[in-house]
Structure 1
């Protein structure tokens, strides 16, 4: 049977400990045996110093038994605080999940009709509620967000974008207006809990002209504002919003010059979001932004450290070629696929982190109608090359940039691998790989600690790991970390077969001279709101 793992990484902040200043010490371990006869899906949600939530979903494709959700709330020493179990009809399939401060939500959908269910788990006491209803239209769902007592589901029906709001009060759903048209792609959905607004971002192509649009809806689903960013000169590929005050938000993402998903650089623009602005636009009228005046476009060639992932000789040749072309008045266009993270607020403004990747294909030749040979290619995952960061001030000015080489990373599913934490004016970039983490320390555009690997594996005497997969590491609380994944472990001098387990390790980082050096770190006590799914979330 298939064993699947999804770690709910609700914080993007990962802490790296420098060996001269600190060391990792596994201080507690929890092992859950994996059943050989049941498909199991593991999900861990960290809750800071309040512990964690463990969810094990069990199902059997060969029977009509209900799908079982097993929830366990554990404290920071893995002592169980409460446990609850929920069963749901097997024709409901989990689609997406998200988290708010008090709850974790799972969206489930029947495969053959428009029936949906939202399962809500109260983190404090484990009370589980389920809200079942019907969508107003069949749709393939790719986005799921919750604001108070309304869920927002984004997807497609007959190749057209649809966003549906589903109320937990009366179990009714309705389609948000202004989206169901041809040639529009649903880009992103973000909720603003403070202002009770929902932002839906789309991109469209009309006669070779690309347009990026941010539609803002009230909590009740009324269109209150539309912001269009014309793409005649630059086509916006993605957008992430970060409110910087009650008056404005910053919209940041990547762009191309030819209406393709291949990036040539990053952009930033400011959007007014005051109550007065929204109130003045209750008719949903357009608020046009002229990119040449209000949007800053930064080509990859303008970044000082973007190409640092290359070997020195290759990088030098590239920079020399760029300089020659610039002297000749010629532009060099780059074509990169980017996975853009949520924006990280900083004291100066914000930090943008993105990973560069490309799809991996495998194929073979086969005879075709007796003449020549044809080739059949299929995608087998994604390969990462590097990640880069950009620091901006609150007015959108680029302050610095840096990069991290990640040449050994590949994944069947596209998801965020590199994680960051800031401490003072320093930043750690780190990613997990095969039971280890690779970390680098930077200060703005300067590298102050080059990449090093740190092992996290420590088992009992005479034990060894046969294989380890889906290893994840997350900053937890007060210098503690959470490492988890799937391992097969054998015991020396024993004839028993290796055991396969889902493990959770509490890892303590013993800091030394914490305040003596800016490259000493502490975990983020507040956490974040990022999710990561290896088997269900799709980009």
Structure 2
């Protein structure tokens, strides 16, 4: 009896590991009759586990277009469908959901003209307002608080980022007070509905040292608080994400550098109100899995060499650029994910990395080596770290190449689409796996075959589910072929 009891305990102990190792499920697929050459489609995950699907179908000359919004539930069953009249040169830019509405920003060929839609998620009723914004010619970020818009855009005059407040009811547009130095940039924009504030995090640099500034605004764009977080000794604060909360509890989680501000040496956590005096720094060498993208022998030699350099008071040799993801709040704290990348340049002889100098070259792409996730408790103490090796993954522009999600059962999921596959990593805190895991997208029937996939994309949906979507050509069992826009639910 004791042996049976012991066996059961072992089985229960192994159960979570077995579940984490299972292949993701694809419980449902939706196909829509959209064609790649004439339709643009965007998917938006909503807080009630539904999806909002936006489509713009244009004629060959782009002189006519149909704009459609459709809401689908978690089983990809259509809840409602609404058309909206917009000018044919209207372009989807950004969206933000503040229940019970989703707000969408549109630009146009005239970069001064913008339109904002307010969509009732229960009924599909749509309200539209048009605004002429002289200050900017491009939208970077878009948040909403109490129906007021906060927009980070590119200044039309000097191309520096600026922060605007828009009251759509009164058509009032104002430039919010922020320091716009030569090297200033926005690191984060967080609308905190619970505390009725919007926090803007800025990175300020003179090329040698860097500091952070956090400005908090109310729904009317009035300044509530302003904090400067200075560098610590030889450490410059590069970029950061703000946690939700009031000024007493708000923290920054981000990256720091030393001599060369282009490269990150690790992570830091600091209370905003402390002005950086209580910052905690975690060098990448302190992290368990930050160099697992290397082969084991190479990692061992690398760590030994870097430890000797640190002991001798020398700078680390690794040169990592981090692209941060939005901070994820968990029941016990926060998770920060970052993609490690380097620019690829092209010359007459082919590709080369950023360390190569001389000759004629131009930026061709941003290549990823790996992604890092770091989990912290609510006091900023590092609990775990993990990494995801990214093989041959690059983007022509510096945008997120992977999607991340944290589940209620404590798993960290990183994934990205690659043709008709989803490449993924399911992390159990700091338990690292180098196994390449992927799942093939399924069609309606097992005997069908995907012959091509165009513009594959992936977004976190709800819980442990993602939505994979794009355009496909599918060959059926009867030798017929159909072109569709697909949405596959992927549940980890």
TM-score scaled by structure 2?
0.84
Q: Judging changes above 3 Å, is the alpha-carbon distance between structure 1 residues 352 and 20 closer, same or farther for their aligned structure 2 residues? A: closer
| Partner SS for 2:119 | strand
User: In 1, are the aligned partners of 2:405 and 2:460 still within 8 Å (CA)?
Assistant: no
CA distance in 2, matches of 1:479, 1:302: 30
Deviation at residue 194 of structure 1 after TM alignment: 1.6
1:387 aligns with 2:371: yes
1:165 aligns with 2:165: yes
Q: Judging changes above 3 Å, is the alpha-carbon distance between structure 1 residues 409 and 481 closer, same or farther for their aligned structure 2 residues? A: same
| Partner SS for 2:348 | strand
| Partner SS for 1:437 | strand
CA distance in 1, matches of 2:205, 2:247: 32
Partner of 1:189: 189
CA distance in 2, matches of 1:36, 1:182: 41
Partner of 2:113: 115
Q: Judging changes above 3 Å, is the alpha-carbon distance between structure 1 residues 83 and 429 closer, same or farther for their aligned structure 2 residues? A: closer
User: In 2, are the aligned partners of 1:33 and 1:499 still within 8 Å (CA)?
Assistant: no
Q: Judging changes above 3 Å, is the alpha-carbon distance between structure 1 residues 18 and 60 closer, same or farther for their aligned structure 2 residues? A: farther
Partner of 1:5: none
CA distance in 1, matches of 2:410, 2:77: 37
Deviation at residue 448 of structure 1 after TM alignment: 7.4
User: In 1, are the aligned partners of 2:111 and 2:137 still within 8 Å (CA)?
Assistant: no
| Partner SS for 2:252 | strand
| Partner SS for 1:220 | coil
CA distance in 2, matches of 1:377, 1:434: 29
Deviation at residue 84 of structure 1 after TM alignment: 0.8
CA distance in 1, matches of 2:48, 2:204: 44
Q: Which has the higher contact order (CA 8 A, sep 6+)?
A: 1
Q: 1:145 aligns with which of 138, 143, 146?
A: 143
User: In 2, are the aligned partners of 1:17 and 1:23 still within 8 Å (CA)?
Assistant: no
Query: Residues 313-352 of structure 1: matches in 2 within 5 Å?
Result: 313-352=297-336
CA distance in 2, matches of 1:479, 1:267: 28
Q: Judging changes above 3 Å, is the alpha-carbon distance between structure 1 residues 425 and 323 closer, same or farther for their aligned structure 2 residues? A: same
CA distance in 2, matches of 1:408, 1:216: 40
CA distance in 1, matches of 2:205, 2:459: 40
Query: Residues 28-47 of structure 1: matches in 2 within 5 Å?
Result: 28-35=28-35, 38=38, 40-47=39-46
1:298 aligns with 2:296: no
Q: Judging changes above 3 Å, is the alpha-carbon distance between structure 1 residues 407 and 504 closer, same or farther for their aligned structure 2 residues? A: same
| Partner SS for 2:315 | coil
Q: Judging changes above 3 Å, is the alpha-carbon distance between structure 1 residues 488 and 239 closer, same or farther for their aligned structure 2 residues? A: same
CA distance in 2, matches of 1:106, 1:401: 35
CA distance in 2, matches of 1:431, 1:361: 24
Q: Judging changes above 3 Å, is the alpha-carbon distance between structure 1 residues 72 and 23 closer, same or farther for their aligned structure 2 residues? A: same
Partner of 2:52: 53
Deviation at residue 163 of structure 1 after TM alignment: 1.2
CA distance in 2, matches of 1:492, 1:391: 47
| Partner SS for 2:391 | coil
Q: Structure 2: 5+ residue runs without aligned partners?
A: 1-15, 351-357
Partner of 2:5: none
Query: Residues 373-452 of structure 1: matches in 2 within 5 Å?
Result: 376-413=360-397, 414-424=399-409, 426-447=411-432, 450-452=435-437
CA distance in 2, matches of 1:145, 1:435: 33
TM-score scaled by structure 1?
0.77
Partner of 1:505: 488
Partner of 1:64: 63
RMSD: 3.1
Q: 1:135 aligns with which of 127, 133, 136?
A: 133
CA distance in 1, matches of 2:369, 2:278: 32
User: In 1, are the aligned partners of 2:112 and 2:133 still within 8 Å (CA)?
Assistant: yes
Q: Judging changes above 3 Å, is the alpha-carbon distance between structure 1 residues 260 and 324 closer, same or farther for their aligned structure 2 residues? A: closer
| Partner SS for 2:310 | helix
Partner of 1:465: 450
CA distance in 2, matches of 1:243, 1:256: 25
Q: Judging changes above 3 Å, is the alpha-carbon distance between structure 1 residues 202 and 375 closer, same or farther for their aligned structure 2 residues? A: same
Deviation at residue 473 of structure 1 after TM alignment: 5.0
How many pairs are equivalent? 466
Deviation at residue 41 of structure 1 after TM alignment: 1.4
Q: Judging changes above 3 Å, is the alpha-carbon distance between structure 1 residues 455 and 140 closer, same or farther for their aligned structure 2 residues? A: closer
Deviation at residue 445 of structure 1 after TM alignment: 2.3
Q: Judging changes above 3 Å, is the alpha-carbon distance between structure 1 residues 177 and 259 closer, same or farther for their aligned structure 2 residues? A: farther
